[in-house]
Amino acid sequence: MSLVEVKHLSKKFSVGRSLFFPPEQFNVAVDDVTLHIDRGEIMGLVGESGCGKTTLARILLHLQSPDMGFVKFDGRRIDDLNERQFRPFRKRIQAVFQDPRESLNPRYRIRNSLNEGLKYLCDWSPGRRRERIHNMLGRVGLDTSVLDRYPHQLSGGQRQRVSIARALLPEPEFIVCDEPTSALDVSIQAQIVNLLLELKEEYGLTYLFISHDLNLVRFLGDRIAVMDRGHIVEKGPTEKICSTPTSQKTKRLLDAVFAPNC
């Protein structure tokens, strides 16, 4: 059964007017995208920078509104909800972003970053919030001593583990992972990927895993959707997409993975 369903989704952004072309110009970021994500699976979304992956993610997270089409979560349409109406879904849909230096407030100690979000999303007592935070930090491999530090006092891998813990605190069902390893050292990337896989199995999570790295998505994904210039140009089971690709974009991405010196 589909947990997330997207139908004919489109989003464009104004790029203003020019001296020689007075009519307002638009950049189409997402163009007639249709896909579904089944409960308990990892859907890999792969494409080059600027193809519309992050815009699609932000629409699924209710951080942007589509111009056309709709998004359903667990059978309920959510793209047309206001923030108050969407609040019950906010705890069920979480995200791990590319660079935790941007997603963690540099002025907040880690304790505050974790506690404030949990206070907003969950009507729990301070004691329960504290216990949940301590347990989740331990689960992602961090000591509670990080709670009194600021983000800049942590390594990149530690910051991303904090971000993963924060996403899991309100007990979500669906997590959008938007390039969660691309800002990390190669030596740390595998640790974070393995942690995400362990947490998925332990908590029964569903992932949309976004990356420009087809090799990584091939390793993780149950199914893959390939995006190019706002369109989904190919989608299907991972092995089928990687063994018998039909679109030129997928073939070029595969060639890049196996090219010398890549």
Could you tell me the strand order of the sheet in which 76-77 lies?
25-38, 2-16, 68-73, 76-77
| pLDDT tens, position by position, 163-182 | 999 999 999 999 999 999 98
pLDDT of residue 18: 60
pLDDT of residue 260: 44
pLDDT of residue 25: 76
| pLDDT tens, position by position, 192-205 | 999 999 999 999 99
Whole-prediction pTM value? 0.92
Contacts of 1 (CB under 8 A, 6+ apart): 38, 39
Tokens, residue 190:
């595998």
pLDDT of residue 258: 57
Q: What are the per-10-residue average pLDDT scores of the chain (262 residues)?
A: 95 74 76 97 95 96 96 97 94 92 90 93 95 97 96 94 97 96 89 96 97 92 96 96 93 74 38
Q: Which sign does the torsion angle of CA 246, 249, 254, 259 carry?
A: positive
Answer yes or no: are the C-beta atoms of 148 and 110 closer than 8 Å: yes
d(CA 228, CA 216): 18
pLDDT of residue 23: 59
pLDDT of residue 26: 82
User: Beta strand 174-178 with 206-211: parallel, antiparallel or unpaired?
Assistant: parallel
Answer yes or no: are the C-beta atoms of 46 and 253 closer than 8 Å: yes
pLDDT of residue 81: 97
